A and B are shown apart, each in its own frame.
Chain A
Amino acid sequence: MNPLSDVPTAEIALRIRKHCVTMTHRAGTSHIGSCLSAADILAVLYGRILNVDADQPSMPHRDRFILSKGHACAALYAVLAERGFFPLSVLDTYCRNGSQLAGHATHNVPGVELSTGSLGHGLPVGIGMALTGKRDGKSQRFFCLLSDGECDEGSIWESALFARHHRLDNLIVIIDYNKIQSFGRVEDVMDLNPLADKWRAFGWAVREIDGHDLKEIQDALLQVPYEPQRPSCLIAHTVKGKGVSFMEDKLLWHYRSPRGDEFQQAMKELEQCK
């Protein structure tokens, strides 16, 4: 049962954005830019794609989603709450003393498959799950959201080699390619281009989309696997801080927490998005 199935994905994405801005403001934490760039992807995944059940978070043979870019956990928590894994009121406690919700995804939270936060860990674990699923003949799918900076990690490329060699076509990597990592623009720090060519060279079936076009996202995710016998890589071109004009495409909003006026202004812009 999916309480979001009749909610337009644009509305789901808006709710995620509003929650993220509120949560980070209240807690005085950030990574807000990283959350906003992933909001549309998460809205479609949990609104339309993933076979999961909030009443049975450990349902066997469910689809698995791993947020390998664990610092965007506010967005994951927001969509999990909207999907019904836990009450919305829990979001108010994000990063506060005594909370269940830490500043990076943790597996104590219903619906969170893996504790992440150190980049490069989520994909290998996802591969282990996907390999088990394949060997045991199950039809579940395994989704893993990476950041662009995360593609600097060697472990990602170890995983890329392995997944192709073992024909894990039940595995889908989505890259939130927002072009800014944690100390500069990707092209200035460690240029990933041509990114699609790299994943193709590793034997993956690759598609590229506008990571904020909900229809493109949904069409792309409904079509996996893109090729039999190959893992799928969906490169989503996104904007860090998407949805709040003064946060868009700025490194600052990887770190800054929206305060006072900034918070008001951000919420005002999002309110006007109806």
Chain B
Amino acid sequence: MRTAFIQTLIELAREDDRITFITGDLGFTVVEPFMEQFPRQFINAGVAEQNMMGMAAGMALSGKVVFTYSIANFPTLRCLEQIRNDVCYHGANVKVVAVGGGLAYGAMGFTHHATEELGIMRMLPGLVVVAPGDPQEARMATRAAAKYDGPCYLRIGKAGETEVHKKPVDFQLGKAIQMRDGEDLTLIANGGLLKTAAEVAEHLSAEGIHARVLSMHTLKPLDQDAVLAAARETRAIVTLEEHSVIGGLGSAVAEVLAEADDVKAAFRRVGLASGFLSAIGNQEYLHEQHGLTPAAILKQIAPILAATARPTSGRVLVSASRT
């Protein structure tokens, strides 16, 4: 996703010389093409995120379209107050980009896992929050963020992710993408677990259970209509996020469901339990350790599927041991 991001940014910078890219001293072997082609639109702020973010606000208030770039929590939590006071409060046209969202940095450990920041960013007034789920979404989210006049947070993965969407999609900020339809349950996912959601749906389909899958790439503004439609048209909603179950996608969807009048759908959040991950290993290994693989998720949602199964369907309920 980060290559998709940089390539798109290069195209954008070619079209618009207001596009300014500020890195917090990161991006080795990734960012050089931008730096070489647009030296006057590139700044390395060094390992100084508070200055980087304040400066980004100042440049945006002077007419630039600014992208800040760092990894994990560095461009967000390290300079949170600057994002709140200098960027959001002034409506400054700054797009905060974090590479390595979720557990993408794997064995690098807890300091490099961005697992609470989507929830925190979601709370900031005036900030659009996006967690694309594959390189195509990352490209389109970058374009959409550049076009949108206002503060954005763009949380992408790393390198080498697979394209989850097999064909071009219509990407709009704030609009969920329906990847498949179904009426038994809805899987709502973003970021690193979009691929997992697609796999879970595939498994369920083989069992005769038909899941609707929504890519909820934009966490804020959340596509409330899509959530409510899913609650009315399917019998259960399960959110999947490579993030704490507190505050992120699951919480955002829960808020909508809890305040809606006619919701009968059951609801579960799948994500990281709040806490310090003691396991060490790559992203896949961490998924295994923390219940984020398709197999683990199928097992976790089996009870909710059982509870919401249609009595006359005659279908076989999913068996975790087979997957």
Asked if A128 and B89 sit within 8 Å, CB to CB, the answer is no
Interface core residue of A124, A132, A165 (most chain B CB under 10 Å): A124
Chain A minimum-CB-distance residue to B60: A128
The complex places the Cα of A194 from the Cα of B63 at a distance, in Å, of 38
Which residues of A, 75-125, contact B by the 8 Å Cβ criterion?
A: 107, 114-115, 117-118, 120-121, 123-125
Give chain B interface residues in 48-77, CB to chain A under 8 Å.
Answer: 48, 50-64
Q: Is B117 an interface residue (CB 8 A)?
A: no
- Inter-chain CA distance A211–B63, complex, in Å, is 34
Query: B48, B55, B57, B64: which contacts A161 (Cβ < 8 A)?
Result: B48
- Complex interface bits, A149-179 against B, C-beta within 8 A gives 1, otherwise 0: 0000011001101100100000000000000
Residues of B in contact (CB 8 Å), total 26
A132 close to B62 (CB less than 8 A): yes
Residues of the A chain whose Cβ atoms lie less than 8 Å from the Cβ of B48 = 158, 161-162
Give 1 or 0 for each of B18-59: 1 = CB within 8 Å of chain A CB. Answer: 000000000000000000000010010110101111111111
B86, A121: Cβ atoms under 8 Å? Answer: yes
Contact of A131 among B55, B57, B89 (CB under 8 A): B55
CB-CB under 8 A from A121, the residues of chain B are 54, 81-82, 85-86
State whether A159 and B90 are in contact (beta carbons under 8 Å apart), knowing that A118-B85, A125-B57 are contacts in the complex.
no
- Of the listed residues A107, A126, A129, A165, the one surrounded by the most CB atoms of chain B closer than 10 A to its CB is A129
By a CB distance below 8 angstroms, the chain A residues around B52 are: 124
Q: Is the CB of B82 within 8 A of A131?
A: no
A124 to B86, CA, bound (A): 10
A203: interface (CB < 8 Å): no
Name the interface residues of B118-137: CB closer than 8 Å to any CB of A.
Answer: none
- Taking A121-B85, A127-B51, A158-B48 as contacts, is the C-beta distance between A107 and B90 under 8 angstroms? yes
- Interface membership of A274, Cβ < 8 A: no
Bound CA–CA A114/B55 (angstroms):
12
For A135, what are the chain B residues with a Cβ–Cβ distance below 8 Å? Answer: 40
Q: How far is the CB of A5 from chain B (nearest CB, A)?
A: 27
Residues of B within 8 A of A115 (CB): 85, 89-90
| 10 tightest A-B CB contacts, nearest first | A128-B58, A124-B54, A158-B48, A128-B55, A158-B51, A132-B62, A155-B50, A125-B58, A128-B59, A129-B58
> Can you report 23 A-B residue pairs in the complex whose CB atoms are below 8 A from each other?
A114-B61, A114-B86, A114-B90, A121-B81, A121-B82, A121-B85, A124-B51, A124-B52, A124-B57, A124-B58, A124-B86, A125-B54, A128-B57, A128-B60, A129-B58, A129-B59, A131-B59, A132-B64, A155-B51, A155-B54, A158-B46, A162-B46, A162-B55
Chain A residues within 8 Å of B, Cβ to Cβ: 107, 114-115, 117-118, 120-121, 123-133, 135, 154-155, 158-159, 161-162, 165
